[in-house]
Structure 1
Amino acid sequence: MVEYKRTLLMPKTNFPMRGNLPQNEPKRQEKWSSEDIYAQVQKRTEGRPLFILHDGPPYANGDIHMGHALNKILKDIIVRYKSMSGYHAPYVPGWDTHGLPIETALTKSGKVKRKEMSVAAFRKLCEEYALKQIDRQREQFLRLGVRGDWWNPYITLDKAYEAQQIKVFGEMAKKGYIYKGKKPVYWSPSSESALAEAEIEYHDKRSPSIYVTFDVVDGKDVLAGDEKFIIWTTTPWTIPANLAISVHPELDYSVVKVNGVKYVVATGLLETLEKELEWERYETVQTLKGSQLEFVQTKHPIYDRHSVVILGEHVTLDAGTGCVHTAPGHGEDDYIVGQKYGLDVLCPVDDKGYLTDEAPGFEGLFYDVANKPIGEKLESVGALLKLSFITHSYAHDWRTKKPVIYRATSQWFASIENFRGELLQAIEEVEWIPKWGETRLFNMVRDRGDWCISRQRAWGVPIPVFYGEDGQPIITDETIEHVSNLFREHGSNIWFEWETSELLPQGFTSIHSPNGTFTREMDIMDVWFDSGSSHQAVLEEREGLQRPADLYLEGSDQYRGWFNSSLSTGVAVTGKAPYKGILSHGFALDGQGRKMSKSIGNVVVPNDVMKQLGADILRLWVASVDYQADVRVSDEILKQVSESYRKIRNTFRFLLGNLHDFNPATDRVEDEDLHGVNLFMLVKLNEVVEKVKKGYEEYNFSSVYHTLHNFCTIELSSFYMDLAKDTLYIEHANHPSRRAIQTVMYETVVKLSKLISPILSHTADEVWENIPNAVEGSVQLSDMPEARSFGDVESLKATWNQFMSIRSDVLKALEQARNEKIIGKSLAASLTLYADDDNYELLQGIDGLEKLFIVSKVNLVKGLNKKVEQAVTFEGIAVFVEAADGETCERCWTVTTTVGSHAEHPTLCTSCAETVQNYYQEEGTE
C-alpha cells in the first residue's frame, strides 16, 4: 500500500527556520576573512568607474556606541550596493587618534606619571593606547558585518598621514592663510588649551547678572560730564579687563535723570530698564545718536584708568542697556572693535583660569570664584546698580563638560576671511542630502571667524614652524618639504626628541637668524586640522582612490566639525571642496526620544544587541528608520525589527524549500509559456527591482526596507506562496504548473537575495548558498538584478490588481463563514460568486479559481440580481459560502464528490489517484 504522505513533494532545504544569528554570523565572518571577500570584490569590479565614500574617522577611544553602528552600517549599505551596481567602490576605514581624551585617559589611569616623563615618552604611550583602541573598535565594526580594507586603514598618527598634513599646512601658509596673532579664542581652563568651535557644546549655567555704572570724566562737549553709563554683563570677572564701552552709531541714546542721578542708556531699552532697575520714574534730559558719543571718556569703576566710549555695529537692543562692556581680551566682537581703536588686548587670566597681577586685588582667584569679590568691590564703590542670577545656555568644553571662557592668547590661525568667498562658492557646488545641510554649512562659514588651529597639548601633530633669533616665524617651501619628509620617515615624535638644528634642512640659513640659532613651535595642531586633512593624506596619498570623494557621510554634528574642517583645508589647497556630496544622519535616541545616558540607564549597546539578536537585526533597524532625522532604538523597537526579520527569513525558507528539485538549466519555463498569476508575479517582482534600486540610488533605505518587507510578507507569503502550495506539493515533479511556479520562485529568490544583500549581508549570503545552482560563490560577487521587459503588461496588471481586490473580498466572506461555523478550513468551502458584468468577464478569463481562492469549488454566476440572502455583498460582487459537497481527499484535503471513484485508491480524489497511479508505482517512490 502506498503511503500517500510520502508522495507529496514537501519543501526540503538546509536553510533553517531560525537564523541563530549571534552564533552563526561570527562563523560566516570568519569565512569572509579567510576567503578575503573584500579583495575578491575589488578584483571583480576592477576597471569600473570609481565610487569613493570617504570614511570620517571615529575617535579611537572606548567601545562603539549606537551612533557608530548607525554610521558604519549606512556606509556599508551604500558601498555594498555600489559595488553591485556597476562601480568599483573601495572602502578604506579610518581613525582619529590625537587629542585630549587619550591624554586624559592615560593620566587618569594612575599608571602614567605625566610630569615625570618627557613629552616624547608620553606621546609614545599615547600612540600605544590609541592603537589598542583601534584594535578594539575594529573588532566591533567587523562584527557589524561592515566590509572594508580593515587591515590597511588610515590612521591620523601614521607617518605618511602626518607627512601629508604638514604639506596641507605648508600650502595654506604659502597662500597667506596661516598667521599667528593674539586674539580671544575659546579657552578651556579644565583642558588648559584653546578650543575650536567644533569642540564646544552648550549646557545651562547659572551666572551672576550685574548692572554697573561708569562715571563720565570727559563729555567731549556732548555730555555735561556728570553722567554715568550703565553696562550689563553676566561675566563680572571680566570687569578688570574692561577698556571701553561700545555704543551703536545709529541707535538713539537718552540721558535720563533718576533720583537726581543722570544715566546714559539706549532709548529703545528704557521701558525694560525702568522695570529691571525698579525706577519709580525717570526724566529724559537729553537724546542723541550713538555716533555723537564717540570718544567720551569714563572712569573704570575699580581701577584708576579711563574707559573710552567707542562705536560698534555689534551692539543691539536684544538685552542689556545698549552700552556694551568691552574687554578686547575676552570677546571676539570686543577684540574686533578694539583693534579699530587701537586698544590693548588686555587678558588678566592665565592658562588655568586664574586672575593674574594685571587684575590687582583679585590675583590668584579662579575666574568663576572672582565674580563675588568683584561684585562686592563694585558695590563698595557705589558702581553696582543691581545683582541677580540667571540660568542661560553657555559654552562648555565638549570633553571635560566644564565651562569655557573667551581669552586672548597668542595662537596660530587659519584665515577664513581670506578665502571665505571660495568656500561659499564651493558649498553651492556640492550635492546636499538633506538639502537643509547646504544652508546650515553656508551660514556657518559665512558667519565664522578665523580658525584657531593651535593647541597647547602634547599628543598631536606639531605645528611645523621655526623661529629666528628675532622671534619671527619661519615657514618656507624648503622647511615644509624637509619636515614632511622627516615625518614620513621617522614620524612626528622626532619634533620632541631631536634638537631644532636636526629638524632643519642641512645648511639652512635665514635673515632672521644671523648667528644660525633657531627655535621651534611647541604647540600642536587642532585635531580637526588632522582629520580635515584626510582628503590629502588619504584620497591623494593612496593608490586607487581619488579626490574629490563622491560622498562624505556623517552625523549632523559634523557640519561644524569634519565637513567644515575638510572644506576649509580642501578649498585652501585645491580651490574645490574635497567632496561631491554630503549625506548626514541624525542621532540615536532611546525609545522615548531621549538622549542615551548611563545615569538614566537607557543606553542601547551595539555589542549587547549583537550578542542577543545578531548584527543583521541592527542592520535591518538602520534600514527601517528615517535616518536623516534623529532615530529611536530600544529593546521593544528591536523586538519589532526581529519579527520583521523572521517574516523575511521564512519567506526565503519557503522559496528555497520548494526549489529542492529545480534545475534552472533544464526545468525553467520560458517567458512566453508563463501566463496568469505567474506572469503577474514576475511583473510585480520587476516593479520591486526598480523601486528598490531607486531607493538605494536616492539613499532612501527605508523605502528599500518597506518595499522588500511588503513584497515578502504580503504579495509572496500571504498570496502567491499560499495559493502555490497545492500545486507544489501535490502535482508530480514535472507538472507544467509546478515548474512554472518554481520558475517564478527561482527568479524571485535570486533577485531578492541580491536586492537585500547590502542590508542583510549575512542572511543574504546564507540564502545564496542554499539556492540550487547559484553561479557565484557569494552573493557579494554578483550584480544587482536588472529590470526585465515583459512587453505590454498594463492589461495584465489591471486584470490581476482587480482580481486581488475581489480576492480580498472573498477572504473576508470566508472568514465570516468560519466565524459562523459554516466551514472550518477554507478547503472545506464551496463558493458561489454573483458578479456584475465587469467582474464576471474578468473571473471567467482566469483559470484555476479554486486554487487562487484555496477552496474546493467555485461557481460563477453572472448578475448580482441572482444573489441569495446569505451572500456577503461587496461592490460588484456577492459571495455565498457553503460547505462543499463530497468527502475530503486523504492526499490533497480537497472536498470533492470524486473521492472513491478510483478503485485502487478509494480515499483519493480523481486527480490525486491519477498522480499516484502514474508517478508512484512503489510505496513512496517516484
Structure 2
Amino acid sequence: MRWGLPPLGPGAATLAAARSLWGPPRLPCRLGWRGTTTGRLERSVTGASSQLPNSNSGKYRDTVLLPQTGFPMKLLGRQQPETELEIQQKCGFSELYSWQRERKVKTEFCLHDGPPYANGDPHVGHALNKILKDIANRYHMMSGSKIHFVPGWDCHGLPIEIKVLSELGGKAQNLSAMEIREKAKTFAKAAIEKQKSAFIRWGIMADWNNCYYTFDGKYEAKQLRIFYQMYDKGLVYRSYKPVFWSPSSRTALAEAELEYNPKHVSRSIYVKFPLLKPSPKLASLIDSSSPVSILVWTTQPWTIPANQAVCYMPESKYAVVKCTSSGDVYILAADKVASVASALETTFETISTFSGVDLKDGTCSHPLIPDKVSPLLPANHVTMAKGTGLVHTAPAHGMEDYSVASQHNLPMDCLVDEDGIFTDAAGPELQNKAVLEEGTDVVIKMLQTAQNLLKEEKLVHSYPYDWRTKKPVVIRASKQWFVNITDIKTTAKELLKKVKFIPASALNAMVEMMDRRPYWCISRQRVWGVPIPVFHHKTKDEYLINSQTIEHIIKLVEQHGSDIWWTLPPEQLLPKEVLSQVGGPDALEYVPGQDILDIWFDSGTSWSHVLPGTDQRADVYLEGKDQIGGWFQSSLLTSVAMRKKAPFKTVVVHGFTLGEKGEKMSKSLGNVINPDVIINGGRDLSKEPPYGADVLRWWVAESNVFTEVTVGPSVLSAARDDIHKLRNTLRFLLGNVADFNPEKYSIPVKNMYVIDQYMLHLLQDYANKVTESYRQYDFGKVVRLLQTFYTRELSNFYFSIIKDRLYCEKENDPKRRSCQTVLDEILDVIVRSFAPILPHLAEEVFQHIPYFKEPKSVFRTGWISTSSIWKKPGLEEAMESACAMRDSFLGSIPGKNAAEYKVVIVIEPGLLFEIIEMLQAEETSSTSQLTELMMASETTLLAQEPREMTEDVIELHGKFLINLEGGDIREESSYKVIVMPTTKEKCPRCWKYTAESSDTLCPRCAEVVGGK
C-alpha cells in the first residue's frame, strides 16, 4: 500500500492509519536503532551545509526572505548595563510587585524574606540569596499566584554596635547608651539604603517602599508581646547558668553566634586528684598504705580552681594501675590505660579492674585546695573518646557540668568576670588575671607546686570563637534569661516531619542542631537592641513583669520605638496603678533591667509581624545553610512556643559563595567579588568588564546552589558566553517571524509538516520539564534544559533543516507559514521559560516581537502555555526512524555539503517503510519532507534495492526497532542508505543542487520567482 499524502504533513486519514499501526498515542513507546546509526540524543549535524543563500549573490538576492530584526546579537561594553536600566524603566520593574498584588487571583504564594544583616555593603552572598528568591517569586507570579514577599533587615545587635564603637576609637568609652543607639541606628540605615539599591538593580521584584525593619516600633512591640506570652506560659525564665560568654564583646552569645576555629591551640594537662575516701569496693582493691590518685585530663586548665567534682561513666570498666617509673598508683578507665601511659611516656602495670558503679560514694581532694572535697559522681556525658575516662567537673564552666551540679546540689560559683578575668574570689594568686592568657599560666604553675601536674602539652583542636570579634569565648555561669526549649523541641521535631526540606539532608542537620541545644539564652549585655522589659528590685533578688507593665511598655514602644527604655524616667515606664504599688514616683523600688534580647529572637519573631492572614505560615523560607542553626531555628522555636505550628511549609537551603578555586572569599586574598563591579565593570574594563545583572542572575541559576557556589572571572565570562549563544537563538527566531502575524497566518497543527509537528511535541515536553524544575526550586536544571533545547533541538537540528523553507519558499506558502507558526510558539515558550532567571533579556525580546502593536510585558502575560494536541508520541517514531537514516547519511560525508548528494533509502516492506512513506509520498523527490530532513538534493524511497548502481556510491546498513509497550506490535526492520553525488547543478538562488544548469533556477525557485 502507498499512502497518498496531502501537500502538508499527514492528513487525518494518514494519522488514523498511523494510529492503527502504532496504537494510541498515550501508550509509552520505546524506540531504538542499532547498527551504523546513532540515537537522536547524539544527532549528527556533520555534513550539513553551513552555507546560506546569500542575498548579495547576484540578481536573485531580493527574492530570498532573509531574517530581519533590530534585536542585537550582542550588547557590548556598557551597552548591557545601560540596556538593562532602560528595560527596568520602560517595562515597569518598580511597579510590577504592586501590579500583581492587585490582580484577582485565587492562589497566594508567600516567600518570607529572612532579614539580611544591616552592616556593610551588598556582596555576592546577598546576590545568591535574593536572586534565588526572585526567580521563585517571578515563576509563581507568572503561574498565576499572587506573591507575598516583604523584604526585611535585621538591624540590631553586637556586630553593628562593635563597628560603630571601633570607628569612634577612644571616644567610645564616654558614650551614653542612647548615643551608642543613635549612632548604631544611623549606621544600620545607611547600610540598608546601600543594600536596597543593589537589590533593586539586580531586578528583585518587591515593594521597596514597604519593607520590614527589626528596629521599627511596631515590629519591636510585636516581639515584646511574644516575649511576654512565652514568659506567661512558663517558657521564658531567669536563671544562673553557664553560657557561651565572649570576653571580647562582654556579652553572652548563642550557639548561632559562634564560629569554630579548627586551629585553636589549647594547653591540655593531665592532673592528679588525690583519692580521699574510696568506696567500700574500691577500698578492697587498693593497698591503703600507698597514696592513690584519680587521673584527669582537661583542655581548660583555668577551670580547675572552680572544680566541684570528678565524674565517671557507671557502665564502663576502670583500672587501678601502678606507674612503673614513679611507683605512683592511679585510677583511670581500663580502655585508656595504654593511650594515657603512652601520652605520659611511661608504662602502667594494671593491679586490678572494676566497674564504674564501684566508684559510688568515693571522694577525692581538690588538686589546688587540699582541704576541699571533690566527690566522685556518675554521669552519662563521660566518654572514652579522649582523656582518661574521668572528667573534671566545674559547674560554672560547662553545660554538662551544670547538669551534674543541679542533680547533686553542688555549688556553682563563677570565679570569672565579664571581661574573662579571675575575680577576687579566685584568690590572691589568680585575681585580675585573664583566664585564657596569664590565668592559665598561673593555674599550671600552682598545680606544679602542689605536685598534682603530671604533664602539659599543646593541643590543636576546634574551639568556639565570637563570630564578630574572632576571639575565643569561654563558658561561664551568669544570670541570664532563657527559653526552656525541652518541650518545644519535641513538638518542633514532630512538626518538621511535615515540612519539605530542599535538599532533604537539611532536615537532619536542623534536628541534630536542635538536639545539641540544651537551652536558649536570649539575653545580651549590650544596648543596641530591644530591651528585655523587666524591672529589677534595687536591693532584693526580685524582678517585676506582668500583663499590666507589658501592655504599658508595648503601647509606648509602638508609638515611639524601644528608645523609650533609655530616654524615659523609670516611673513613666510603669503604668500608674503598678507604680503606686512599688513605691510611687519618689521612692520607686525597681529599676529597668539592662539586658537586651538576642537578635535571633528579634528576627525569629518576624513571622508574627510579616506573614499574612490568620494562618501566618509562609510557603517557603529560603536562606543559606548557616540559618539551620540561626533564623530557621529561632523562627521555628518561637512559632511552636506560641501556636504549636511551624511558620513554613517548605525550607530551601543554599550553600555559601566561594572563590573560583573553592577558597573562602577574603580581602586579604584579594578574591572578593563585588556585585556592583560584576554589573558595571571595574577600573580596568579589560580585566573587569561590565556584565550586567542578567549575567549575575544566570550564574546564580546555573550553579548547584545546594552545595558551595563558586564565582570568579572565568565563571562570569562563561555565563556571558552562554547568554550570547541564547541571544543568537532568539535573534534567529525573531528574524524569521518578521513577516508573520499568528492571528492571520498560523497553520493548524494537523496541516503542518511532520517535522514541525514533531518540534511542537518536543516543545511541550520541554515546557513540562522546565515547569516541574521551577516547582522543585531546581533552577540549575531549568538552565540545563534550556541550553540542551536551544543547542541540540533548535540550532543543531531544526534550524539547519528549515532554513531553505524559510528563505526560499513563497512568503505565504503554507509550508513556510507552518514553520513560522512553530517558530512563534518556540519563541514564546523559550522566553517565558527563562524570564524568571533573565528578566531583562526576556523583556528586551518582547520589545522586538514584530506583531505586537504595543510591546507587552512578559511578566504580565502569564506562564508558558502549550496545547495538548502538540503531544504526539506516534510522530516520535516517524522522526526518530528518519533521524536514524539522516545520521547515517550525514555521518558518511563529514565536512561536506549534504546538498551535493542524493540519497536512496531502501526499507524492507513493513511498518518502518510505511512510517517513512509519510514523509515522502512519491518515489523520488527534491522537495519532500524527507528530502528536507536529509538536507540532500534528492531522496528516493524504495522497498527493494535499485537494479542499477554507479560505482561511486556509499552503502550504509542499519536496523530500527519499533517497540510499543502494552501493545502487540514489536517490529525490527532493516534499512539501507545509499549515498551518491548528485548529477544536477547548483541553483543560483537556493544553492541546492537541483537545477539543470548553473545559470538556470531549479523548478521550485523558478515557480517562486515566476510568481513574484
Normalising by structure 2, report the TM-score. 0.86
- Relative to structure 1, is the Cα distance of residues 746 and 424 closer, same or farther in structure 2, using a 3 angstrom cutoff? same
* Superimposed CA distance per residue, residues 712-757 of structure 1 (whole angstroms, 9 cap, x where no aligned partner): 1111111112222111111222111111111111111112211211
2:747 maps to 1:674? no
Separation in structure 1 between the aligned mates of residue 945 and residue 517 of structure 2, nearest angstrom = 75
- Residue 335 of structure 1, CA deviation: 0.8
* Superimposed CA distance per residue, residues 311-355 of structure 1 (whole angstroms, 9 cap, x where no aligned partner): 222112111112211111110111110111212212211111112
Structure 2 residue identity aligned to 1:740: S
- Residue 493 of structure 1, CA deviation: 0.9
* Superimposed CA distance per residue, residues 282-313 of structure 1 (whole angstroms, 9 cap, x where no aligned partner): 24156353353335242333565222222222
Hey, what does 2:64 align to over in structure 1? 8
Separation in structure 2 between the aligned mates of residue 865 and residue 378 of structure 1, nearest angstrom = 105
1:52 match: secondary structure: strand
Counting matched residue pairs gives 903
- Answer with 312-321 or 775-784: which moved more: 775-784
- Relative to structure 1, is the Cα distance of residues 550 and 112 closer, same or farther in structure 2, using a 3 angstrom cutoff? farther
* Superimposed CA distance per residue, residues 78-114 of structure 1 (whole angstroms, 9 cap, x where no aligned partner): 1111111131112111111111221122222237832
* Superimposed CA distance per residue, residues 162-204 of structure 1 (whole angstroms, 9 cap, x where no aligned partner): 1111111111111111111111111111111111010111112
Hey, what does 1:17 align to over in structure 2? 73
Structure 2 residue identity aligned to 1:645: I
Are the aligned partners of 1:472 and 1:512 in contact in 2 as well (CA < 8 Å)? no
Hey, what does 1:421 align to over in structure 2? 490
Hey, what does 2:972 align to over in structure 1? none
Structure 2 residue identity aligned to 1:235: Q
Separation in structure 2 between the aligned mates of residue 9 and residue 525 of structure 1, nearest angstrom = 71
Separation in structure 1 between the aligned mates of residue 458 and residue 555 of structure 2, nearest angstrom = 56
Structure 1 residue identity aligned to 2:148: P
1:86 match: secondary structure: coil
Are the aligned partners of 2:322 and 2:351 in contact in 1 as well (CA < 8 Å)? yes
Hey, what does 2:433 align to over in structure 1? 365
Hey, what does 2:108 align to over in structure 1? 50
- Relative to structure 1, is the Cα distance of residues 796 and 108 closer, same or farther in structure 2, using a 3 angstrom cutoff? same
Are the aligned partners of 2:368 and 2:446 in contact in 1 as well (CA < 8 Å)? no
Correspondence list, 1:385-404, <5 A: 385-404=454-473
2:247 maps to 1:196? no
Separation in structure 2 between the aligned mates of residue 320 and residue 139 of structure 1, nearest angstrom = 55
2:40 maps to 1:40? no
2:890 maps to 1:799? no
Are the aligned partners of 1:357 and 1:363 in contact in 2 as well (CA < 8 Å)? yes
Hey, what does 1:250 align to over in structure 2? 315
Separation in structure 2 between the aligned mates of residue 843 and residue 64 of structure 1, nearest angstrom = 60
- Answer with 116-125 or 838-847: which moved more: 838-847
Hey, what does 2:20 align to over in structure 1? none
Correspondence list, 1:22-421, <5 A: 22-33=81-92, 36-44=95-103, 46-110=104-168, 113-203=171-261, 204-219=263-278, 221=280, 222-223=282-283, 224=288, 226-258=291-323, 259-285=326-352, 287-302=354-369, 304-360=371-427, 361-369=429-437, 370-421=439-490
Are the aligned partners of 1:248 and 1:291 in contact in 2 as well (CA < 8 Å)? no
5+ residue gaps, structure 2, are 1-56, 681-689, 920-927, 960-974
Separation in structure 1 between the aligned mates of residue 91 and residue 529 of structure 2, nearest angstrom = 36
Separation in structure 1 between the aligned mates of residue 307 and residue 945 of structure 2, nearest angstrom = 93
2:330 match: secondary structure: strand
Separation in structure 2 between the aligned mates of residue 206 and residue 34 of structure 1, nearest angstrom = 53
Separation in structure 1 between the aligned mates of residue 121 and residue 614 of structure 2, nearest angstrom = 29
- Residue 623 of structure 1, CA deviation: 2.0
2:668 maps to 1:599? yes
- Residue 503 of structure 1, CA deviation: 1.1
Question: Greater relative contact order: 1 or 2 (C-alpha under 8 angstroms, separation 6 or more)?
Answer: 2
- Relative to structure 1, is the Cα distance of residues 182 and 794 closer, same or farther in structure 2, using a 3 angstrom cutoff? same
Pick from 887, 894, 900: which aligns with 2:985?
887
- Residue 591 of structure 1, CA deviation: 2.9
Hey, what does 2:1006 align to over in structure 1? 913
Structure 1 residue identity aligned to 2:301: P
- Answer with 256-265 or 683-692: which moved more: 256-265
Separation in structure 1 between the aligned mates of residue 580 and residue 800 of structure 2, nearest angstrom = 86
- Residue 546 of structure 1, CA deviation: 5.5
Separation in structure 1 between the aligned mates of residue 316 and residue 984 of structure 2, nearest angstrom = 99
Structure 2 residue identity aligned to 1:618: L
- Residue 251 of structure 1, CA deviation: 2.4
Are the aligned partners of 1:871 and 1:880 in contact in 2 as well (CA < 8 Å)? yes
Hey, what does 1:873 align to over in structure 2? 956
* Superimposed CA distance per residue, residues 494-549 of structure 1 (whole angstroms, 9 cap, x where no aligned partner): 11111111111223258776964321111111110111010012115xxx796111
- Relative to structure 1, is the Cα distance of residues 653 and 297 closer, same or farther in structure 2, using a 3 angstrom cutoff? same
Separation in structure 2 between the aligned mates of residue 811 and residue 556 of structure 1, nearest angstrom = 50
* Superimposed CA distance per residue, residues 648-695 of structure 1 (whole angstroms, 9 cap, x where no aligned partner): 111111111111111111111122322411111111111111111111
Are the aligned partners of 1:179 and 1:415 in contact in 2 as well (CA < 8 Å)? yes
Separation in structure 1 between the aligned mates of residue 653 and residue 310 of structure 2, nearest angstrom = 43
Correspondence list, 1:540-689, <5 A: 547-611=616-680, 612-689=690-767
Hey, what does 1:830 align to over in structure 2? 902
1:392 match: secondary structure: strand
2:828 maps to 1:750? yes
Are the aligned partners of 1:302 and 1:377 in contact in 2 as well (CA < 8 Å)? no
Separation in structure 2 between the aligned mates of residue 806 and residue 621 of structure 1, nearest angstrom = 39
Are the aligned partners of 1:120 and 1:497 in contact in 2 as well (CA < 8 Å)? yes
Pick from 984, 987, 994: which aligns with 1:896?
994
- Answer with 142-151 or 184-193: which moved more: 142-151
Pick from 436, 439, 446: which aligns with 2:515?
446
- Relative to structure 1, is the Cα distance of residues 637 and 803 closer, same or farther in structure 2, using a 3 angstrom cutoff? farther
1:307 match: secondary structure: strand
- Relative to structure 1, is the Cα distance of residues 665 and 545 closer, same or farther in structure 2, using a 3 angstrom cutoff? farther
Separation in structure 2 between the aligned mates of residue 362 and residue 181 of structure 1, nearest angstrom = 27
- Relative to structure 1, is the Cα distance of residues 466 and 690 closer, same or farther in structure 2, using a 3 angstrom cutoff? same
2:115 match: secondary structure: coil
- Answer with 805-814 or 642-651: which moved more: 805-814
Structure 2 residue identity aligned to 1:214: F
5+ residue gaps, structure 1, are 819-824, 901-905, 920-926
- Relative to structure 1, is the Cα distance of residues 363 and 574 closer, same or farther in structure 2, using a 3 angstrom cutoff? same
- Residue 792 of structure 1, CA deviation: 7.1
- Residue 58 of structure 1, CA deviation: 0.8
- Relative to structure 1, is the Cα distance of residues 863 and 459 closer, same or farther in structure 2, using a 3 angstrom cutoff? farther
Structure 2 residue identity aligned to 1:142: I
2:648 match: secondary structure: coil
2:858 maps to 1:789? no
Normalising by structure 1, report the TM-score. 0.93
- Answer with 522-531 or 410-419: which moved more: 410-419
* Superimposed CA distance per residue, residues 760-804 of structure 1 (whole angstroms, 9 cap, x where no aligned partner): 111111111222344872001021123421187221111112222
Are the aligned partners of 1:99 and 1:459 in contact in 2 as well (CA < 8 Å)? yes
* Superimposed CA distance per residue, residues 142-177 of structure 1 (whole angstroms, 9 cap, x where no aligned partner): 222111122211111111111111111111111111
Pick from 766, 774, 782: which aligns with 1:696?
774
Separation in structure 1 between the aligned mates of residue 366 and residue 221 of structure 2, nearest angstrom = 54
- Residue 367 of structure 1, CA deviation: 1.3
- Residue 862 of structure 1, CA deviation: 4.1
Separation in structure 1 between the aligned mates of residue 658 and residue 93 of structure 2, nearest angstrom = 36
Structure 2 residue identity aligned to 1:55: D
Are the aligned partners of 1:213 and 1:301 in contact in 2 as well (CA < 8 Å)? no
